[in-house]
Amino acid sequence: MTTKKYTQEDLNKILWQAADSSRTQVDAGIYKDYVLVMLFFKYLSDLSKKKHNEYKERFGNDEKRIEEKMKLDRFYLPPKVSFDYIYKVIEQDNLGEEIDKALHAIEDANKEKLENMFLNVSFNSEVLGKSQERNKMLRHLVHDFAKIDLSDVKDDIIGNSYMYMIERFGADAGKKAGEFFTVRNVAHLVAKFAEPKAGSRICDPCMGSGGLLLLAGEEVEKLGSKNYALYGQESTGSTYQLARMNMFLHGKDSARLEWGDTLNNPLLVENDKLMKFDTIVANMPFSLSKWGAENAGGDKYNRFWRGVPPKDKGDFAFITHMVETLKAKTGRMVAIAPHGVLFRGGAEGKIREQLLKENVIDAVIGLPAGLFQTTGIPVAILILDRTREKGGENEKTKDVFFIEASKEFKAQKAQNILTDENIEKIYSTYKKRKDVEKLARKVSIKEIEENDFNLNITRYVDTFVEEEPVDIKANLEELAKLEPELQKLEKQMVEYLKELGIK
């Protein structure tokens, strides 16, 4: 077993090699769940073994006292429930069943933090192939992870490696990737725009595997504070499980995460009312069809009082939910959305008009195309700020700031990316809030009203590049100078053709 201390780059490389070498024909979107659970299991086992050894140095062979102490730690693994035990039974024909037993024992011993953590994954499932194929794959996976010692790896490094693995699997999963993670460079920009403060309640109602939520929390830590609380909800069970493990590996055990449909069954409630948040970040599902429009009229929380979005486009359903869960006069949200929300009419147009009249739409940022595996189309970032509503500290701000950042990217083979320089340029442009030719413009609510409350960025930021005027006289003079040379070449060509016997 390797015992050296890993750099971030080393650990990323070693873990990915372990995952990739055991790969079979299982779909990447499914396979990732098993690899990440195995990583989580190995990490818990290595930390538990390290703790046991430390207590053994203090208490000798008094196993009863050692076990009592270990039960008081952050988590507890019962005797014979460990990765090492699985390694000992690696040749058994029921290896998947043994792994499942160990995982369920961990859940039972840690109900407060880990209950139902592995509910959506079974290592004994035929999703991984028939018995013989499954055992072969699992043995490879266990062998490869057995070579890695995670006992001295800090939370930030193991957490970042977990996110790295999710992103690598996302690249393999292609269009399915959007269901479980947001491209990291885009997530960084969203988190910066969110500007959470010390003491903030931060929420992502479409949290995926939780990466964006964690990055928003890191913005508070950059201010020198760890005083913030994380909340999230996710509709897909396996992705919810990824988010829970992600929080745990990052040391965010107290994060409140819920599994369910945010629009039809919001679970972040207190005293039978929707919880209110200081900061909301989201990469919402784009134009979700069958989102539950038929139930919106009777919504017990009255979230859709501005209007019910179309049944085949849930974008404004999510936006409305987020606005309604922001703290009045102080809350702020940043969401990734398709450009259609900026200009579509009908019910969506009326909701957009109402939000503009409430003066809560602060900025619209157009991003480059090709940033996501899930779609090649460009997307937008919407910033809504309730400090601008009546009674808020910024109620006198009566404009929307538009940034046309579609050229701010670095092209790569698989997809475009936002570099650190691109992110800084876009963010600093927003902070300065001054007009920049071909890039940004501050537009009054009155002008937007004159444009029928349309927020299409190119209506307000002129990106047209004029071609240089053609000097016809100079071009004619140049042609006249070249005419003798052209005649000479034509004469030579005729001579060559004659020599070849071609008339």
Give the count of domains, the chain: 3
The reply to whether 209 and 101 lie within a common domain is no
Beta carbons of 95 and 135 less than 8 angstroms apart:
yes
Tokens encoding 22: 């055991």
Q: How do residues 271-324 score in pLDDT, each as one tens digit?
A: 999 999 999 999 999 999 999 999 999 999 999 999 999 999 999 999 999 999
Q: Are residues 264 and 337 in the same domain?
A: yes
Whether residues 120 and 222 share a domain: the answer is: no
Q: Does 170 map to a domain?
A: no
Has residue 161 been placed in a domain? no
Residue 32 vs residue 180, higher pLDDT: 32
Do 293 and 311 contact (CB within 8 A), yes or no? yes
How far, in Å, CA of 173 to CA of 170, rounded? 5
Same domain, 450 and 488: no
Task: Identify the band that residue 482 occupies on the pLDDT scale cut at 50, 70 and 90.
Answer: confident
CA dihedral 249, 251, 254, 260 (to 10 degrees): -20
DSSP assignment letter at 323: H
Average pLDDT score over the chain: 92
Q: Which CATH number belongs to the domain containing residue 429 in this structure?
A: 3.40.50.150
Confirm whether 160 is domain-assigned. no
- What lies within 8 Å, CB to CB, of 333 at 6+ separation is 194, 279, 280, 281, 282, 322, 323, 326, 382, 383, 384, 385
pLDDT digit string, tens, across residues 289-304: 999 999 999 999 999 9
Residue 393, token pair as written in the block: 């500290």
Specify the CATH number for the domain of residue 104.
1.20.1260.30
Residues 96 and 195 in one domain: no
Q: Does 289 lie in the same domain as 246?
A: yes
Per-residue confidence (pLDDT) for residue 2, from 0 to 100: 46
Residue pLDDT, tens place only, 225-235: 999 999 999 99
DSSP, res 209:
T
Residues 81 and 213 in one domain: no
Which of 152-156, 231-235, 486-490 is predicted with the least confidence, judged by mean pLDDT? 486-490
Please state the separation of Cα 322 from the chain's center in Å: 17
Q: How confident is the model at residue 179 (pLDDT cuts 50, 70, 90)?
A: low
Q: What SS3 state is found at 270?
A: strand
Kindly state whether residues 289 and 431 are assigned to the same domain. Answer: yes
Average pLDDT of 137-162?
Answer: 94
The tens digit of pLDDT for each residue in 327-378 reads 999 999 999 999 999 999 999 999 999 999 999 999 999 999 999 877 778 8
- 247 located within any domain: yes
> What pLDDT, on the 0 to 100 scale, is given for residue 96?
97
pLDDT at 476: 79
Q: Distance of CA 130 to CAs 21, 32, 87, 120, 485, Å?
A: 19, 19, 21, 19, 77
For 333, which DSSP code? E
For residue 168, tell me if it sits in a domain.
no
What pLDDT was estimated at residue 170? 79
CA distance linking residue 408 with residue 417, whole number of Å: 9
Indicate if the pLDDT at residue 154 is higher than 60.
yes
- Residue 236 DSSP symbol: S
**From CA 148, how far away is CA 13, in angstroms rounded?**
12
Is residue 169 in a domain?
no
Read off the pTM.
0.89
Is residue 163 assigned to a domain?
no
Closest CA to 305 of 238, 372, 355, 375: 355
Helices (H), ranges, 250-382: 293-296, 315-324, 340-343, 346-357
d(CA 465, CA 460): 15
Instruction: Name the residue range of residue 500's domain.
Output: 468-503
Residues 218 and 313 occupy one common structural domain: yes
Same domain, 500 and 399: no
Q: List beta partners, residue 365.
A: 381, 403
CA angle 438, 443, 447 (to 5 degrees): 120
Q: Are residues 407 and 500 in the same domain?
A: no
Residue 405: predicted pLDDT: 97
Nearest to 32 by CA among 191, 186, 192, 238: 238
In a domain, 134, yes or no: yes
418 lies in the same domain as 475: no
